[in-house]
Amino acid sequence: MNNFQFYAPTDFVFGRDTQDRVADLVTRYGGHKVLLVYGGESAEKSGLIKRVTGKLAEKNIEWSVLKGIRPNPTDDRVYEGIAIVKRDDIDFILAVGGGSVIDTAKAIALGALYGGDFWDFYCGKAKPEAALPVGVVLTIPAAGSEGSPNSVITKIDGLHKLSYRSLLTRPKFAIMNPELTMTLPWFQTACGVVDMLCHIFERYFSNTPAQLVNAYSEAIMRDVMDQALTLRVRPDDYEARADVMWAGTLAHNGLCGVGKEEDWATHRMEHEVSAIYNVAHGAGLACIAPAWMTFVAKRNPDMVWKFAINVMSVNPAGKDTNRIIAEGIKALKDFYHDLGLTTSLTELIGKEPDIDALVKSLEGNMGKTLGAYVPLSMEDCREIYRLAL
């Protein structure tokens, strides 16, 4: 295990009706005038926005609204949010939604206190010194943004989808009521499960010895898969919703990566796909992750072999390493198919993706090499995109 520092100070408030505590939490973390950020229609339709604003009103907390944030959120909405913050003297950003809404809120929180263009942070030109506080009411377990210091924004000009990590943007609180996720279309639940699993893959597939971290990472992965299959037949199962919701946070708040060198090649390759073709992030990962595993197992089989046995429950008796790995990857693909997702980029996008464009953009955004478990050249990435077709 490598040396590490783990500080994850988000106040998680979990369970039924916890959204009713939103105003108390905003107050506790210093908010007086709130920018309420949310997505398309779901939070209005379910009555959640009414319930949240009702609680804010009871405490005389004023709010302004930025709504209609779309999946794979874009920089234009961030600029709009920053302008509202300045116009209305906002001192707290409240995100009601999933990763797209939360990431927009985080980018606004950074940009509002900066004299220059918020994109400077995402493209590495500047480092922030301050950010407004962000609070979250989570409606979809997936991206893990409620407990992570990361945010991912797409710059419309050039379709650059970039992730930025700043501890300043780790949410002050995250309200997590599993019941709020019961209105999710199945496709979104499935994409969320794929995403949280992949957040663990990025940390699990590592060359750093870490027996304890690997053991609890494997336990989380196995449980998420079990609960996802339960939800496939019983989408209103509270206990399964609760496990999946908490797993989404544990997968990405850093706990599964402590003391380990992390990889992140799969995510970076997927971000090009969702930036250019605007597909759901989890749906893209379901295509890239098995292709990545197939490719890296040839150069570094150890963790893929371990994953096949300990997570995908392949019985190793009488089988050589290659067969165990092949069965493990097939079992992962079968699981994605059982969730109703495709593992083919061509099927996902509706045509063959332009691999040259994906690789060119990847190299422009990330440089010539990617990943750590097996460092990948751009030619390797091209081959992985091919394997995912």
Dmax over Cα atoms in the chain, in whole Å?
69
Contact stretch for ligand NZQ (CB under 6 A) within 34-42, 76-84, 120-128, 294-302? 34-42
Rounded Cα–Cα distance for residues 43 and 184 (Å) = 11
Q: Of these, 100, 104, 206, 310, which contacts ligand NZQ (CB under 6 A)?
A: 100
Rounded Cα–Cα distance for residues 80 and 76 (Å) = 6
Which residue from 122, 134, 65, 125 is spatially nearest to 93, judged by alpha carbons? 134
CB 296 within 8 A of CB 307: no
Q: Which is nearer to Zn ion, 93 or 191 (CB)?
A: 191
Q: Which does 144 bind (CB under 5 to 8 A by kind): ligand NZQ, Zn ion, none?
A: ligand NZQ
Q: Which is nearer to ligand NZQ, 34 or 142 (CB)?
A: 142
- Judged by DSSP in three states, 373 sits in coil
- Number of residues in contact with ligand NZQ, rule: CB under 6 A? 35
By the rule CB under 6 A, 110 interacts with ligand NZQ: no
Q: Which does 147 bind (CB under 5 to 8 A by kind): Zn ion, ligand NZQ, none?
A: none
Q: Of these, 81, 144, 171, 328, which contacts ligand NZQ (CB under 6 A)?
A: 144
Write down the least CB distance from residue 382 to ligand NZQ, Å. 22
By the rule CB under 6 A, 99 interacts with ligand NZQ: yes
- Number of residues in contact with Zn ion, rule: CB under 5 A? 1
φ and ψ of 43, to 5 deg: -75, -25
Contact stretch for ligand NZQ (CB under 6 A) within 86-94, 145-153, 207-215, 361-369? 145-153
CB 75 within 8 A of CB 103: no
Tokens of 80: 């709009």
Q: Which does 257 bind (CB under 5 to 8 A by kind): ligand NZQ, Zn ion, none?
A: none
By the rule CB under 6 A, 41 interacts with ligand NZQ: yes
CB 96 within 8 A of CB 137: yes
By the rule CB under 6 A, 27 interacts with ligand NZQ: no
Rounded Cα–Cα distance for residues 279 and 385 (Å) = 15
Q: Which does 189 bind (CB under 5 to 8 A by kind): Zn ion, ligand NZQ, none?
A: none
Rounded Cα–Cα distance for residues 309 and 311 (Å) = 6
In the shown chain, the binding pattern of residues 43 to 62 toward ligand NZQ, with x for contact by CB under 6 A and - for none, equals x-------------------
Q: Which is nearer to Zn ion, 143 or 175 (CB)?
A: 143
Q: Of these, 75, 103, 195, 327, which contacts Zn ion (CB under 5 A)?
A: 195
By the rule CB under 6 A, 217 interacts with ligand NZQ: no
Facing residues of 138 across strands?
A: 97, 176
Q: Which is nearer to Zn ion, 195 or 218 (CB)?
A: 195
Facing residues of 163 across strands?
A: 152
In the shown chain, the binding pattern of residues 141 to 180 toward Zn ion, with x for contact by CB under 5 A and - for none, equals ----------------------------------------
Q: What is the CA radius of gyration of the chain?
A: 20
By the rule CB under 6 A, 98 interacts with ligand NZQ: yes
By the rule CB under 6 A, 103 interacts with ligand NZQ: yes
By the rule CB under 5 A, 263 interacts with Zn ion: no
Residues that bind ligand NZQ (CB under 6 A): 39-43, 71-73, 97-101, 103, 139-140, 142-145, 148, 150-152, 180-181, 183-184, 188, 192, 195, 252, 267, 274, 281
Residues that bind Zn ion (CB under 5 A): 195
